[in-house]
Each structure stands twice: as structure tokens, then as C-alpha cells.
Structure 1
Amino acid sequence: MFDMEKSKRKVWTKAETLLFLKCYNERKDEFLHARKKKFAYGNVMEDMIYQGFTDTTISAAALVSKLRTLLKQTGTSPCTVPYMREMDEIFGESCLVSNNHTSNIGTDLQEALVESSGKE
């Protein structure tokens, strides 16, 4: 039974996903700056909590995973993807044409979650 609980993944509601995208969009410039991006997901999380997000099991890594999932969806069937308007507002039409954003998320997560090792 312990394994079953361990394998449970967060099921995001529509309201939670929209809040995440809204907060991400408000801080999207932070993800472009070397000195700011290691704190960007944490800042998005703080904004979400401030605006009423109450799930304490969510971490910055979970936010990265959620964004990766949303971006993968845009690469598969853009015409039917929920949240397409919000994704387009954040990433522009490029996320509809190619899925290049997902390749950078892993490194952004590493840089966002790990202390800087002296290089900026």
C-alpha cells in the first residue's frame, strides 16, 4: 500500500493550472536572466500561494514537470490543447510550431534548484 501512495501524482485542477500559467507569465522575464532564473520557480510558487494555492505537496520541481507536460501537449495536437491561449501568451506561436522549450526546462530546473557553483 505504501507503493501505491508513493506513485500518486498531483492531479491539477483547471483553476490551479490557470493560476500556475498566470504566475509563470508574470515572471517569465526572470527565466531569461542568469542571476534570477535559479529563483524563478520558487518565486512563481510564492505568487501562487499568495493568490490562494493551498497544495503544500507541490515543489518547484513539480512546477517544472507541469510546464514540461503542458509544452509536450502543444507539440502533439495544438488545435485541441487546453490552455493554448495562455501558453501562446507566454511562449508565443513558437510553442505551437516547435517544442524547443522543453529541451531547456531540465537545465533551468537544475539551475533553479541547485545553489550556484560560482558561475553566473
Structure 2
Amino acid sequence: MKITDHFIPVFTNQLDTTVAYYESLANRPMDRRWDIPEAGLSLATVYPYVIVSGSPEALEPARSLRAVVYVDSMNELKDVLKQQNTLIVRDQHGPIGPSIFVQHPDGSFIEYVEPAQATV
């Protein structure tokens, strides 16, 4: 299993304004935008940032997220995590591909994603 990319999460209740700021800061356009209606969240990426937007209530559970890490094999990652007795908090298939939310022993909360080929 290899780490292929990573994103730094940014939380806001003003997606468009925040996207414009990070486009200017990174000197690049937004890469992608999508919604997660069941969570009440809208997201956008302006590499290397993933901007997460929603109401304060919708953002509360997401705010503990420290990073989003892309991997080339979710199955291999799960094997490594199992060997290390690391807690997988949630296992799901999101709009980018399969993802898991992991609580590391040091307390870090990280989402790992195996992106579908079309999104890489």
C-alpha cells in the first residue's frame, strides 16, 4: 500500500468565499466540488486543500478530521491497520471512492480514500 496524495481540511460556512480565497492563495482553480446531502455538507478541493462547508451542526463531527490521505489499496491499508489494532470508525463508499475514517492511537482522526481511477 502506498500513499498517493493528501489534502488539508479547511472548515467553513461560506464555501464560495473560502474557495475563492484558496484559489488565490494556491494560484490554481478549484479542482472539484460535490455535496454529501445526508451529512449536510458541501465540499470542494483546491489542491492541497479540501474545503468542507455546512452549518455549525453539520460541521461539528467533521472538525476533528486532521487530514485526508489517498492510498492505492484500501484492502492493504485495512490489513495494516488491523495488524496495528487501529480503530476504523467508519467504512463507506463516498463520491471519490471507498473511504475509511480512522482513529489513530495518538488521537489523530484521518480519512483514507482509495480514489476511483476517473478521479485520480
What band does the TM-score fall into relative to the shorter chain? under 0.3
Q: Which has the higher strand share?
A: 2
Which structure ranks higher in relative contact order (CA pairs < 8 Å, sequence separation ≥ 6)?
Answer: 1
What TM-score do the two structures reach when normalised by structure 1?
A: 0.27
